[in-house]
Amino acid sequence: MALYRVNITTGASTPIKNPVGDGQRGINAMGYNVGDNFLYGAIGQGTNTDLIRIAASGDSTILGSLNGTVGVNLNAGDVDENNHYWATASGKQWIQVDLKPGSPTFFRTLASGTANPTYSQIDWAYVPGGGNYLWGLAFNSGYTSTYLQRFDRTTRTWTVFTNFGNVAGNNQWGAVYASDDGFLYGSENASGQIWKFPLPANGTAAVRISNGPAASSNDGARCIKAANV
């Protein structure tokens, strides 16, 4: 697994380090923790899944097994405003882990369970100003439409909002990000295109930002306090 830095505005990518982690297992379900300025993600699959911490240089530390995810391949993740890591397997099985520096429950599983999303998705993000939710860009079975979905962090249920239609590629948004303007940004796997998506209060029109790198297996993370793009 390689680490790249992608400029959302231009789509330009810069290689940081290859490989990252143990050089054998893939990394997914990534999120950026503003509490300590590290990336966190799930390395491995199923019963062989650990939490990995990654520095800006690409240097990493494997912290240990992610409890509560036995047999699950985590593919979506983010760290919220409380420094809690949320990861899920396509919006179904999910886990909440404390990553607040100095917390007596650091790296402990706070909650886990199973939800029932209407549509499949492969990443989610906490959006500042977007409420007590995690937001994702989902796709239908024919890969012909992109839907805005949100996961309620209290009720652990999904709600579908905007149907943006056929946006780009296969409408599979393997990397989604947020910034402090209350919008969601997504990188579509097949095309590499990066788009800006409004939450319901901000409209229904998606805007193409740039052309990034295409990917078949990827994930992304961005600081929730980063400036608007």
Q: Mind listing the pLDDT tens digit for each residue in 128-144?
A: 999 999 999 999 999 99
> What average pLDDT does range 43-53 have in this prediction?
95
The pLDDT tens digits for 57-94 are 999 999 999 977 777 899 999 999 999 999 999 999 99
| pTM (predicted TM-score) | 0.95
> Based on C-alpha coordinates, what's the Rg of the chain?
16
Could you give the maximum distance between any two Cα atoms of the chain, in Å? 46
Distance from chain centroid for Cα 215: 15
Instruction: Return the closest-CA partner of residue 117 out of 94, 100, 99, 98.
Output: 94
Residue with tokens 């494997």: 62
d(CA 2, CA 215): 12
Domains and CATH numbers, the chain: 3-211 (2.120.10.30)
The pLDDT tens digits for 17-27 are 999 999 999 99
CB-CB contact of 125 with 187 (8 Å): no
What integer best gives the mean pLDDT of the chain?
A: 93
Alpha helices in 96-211 (DSSP H): none
Structure tokens at 96: 């909440």
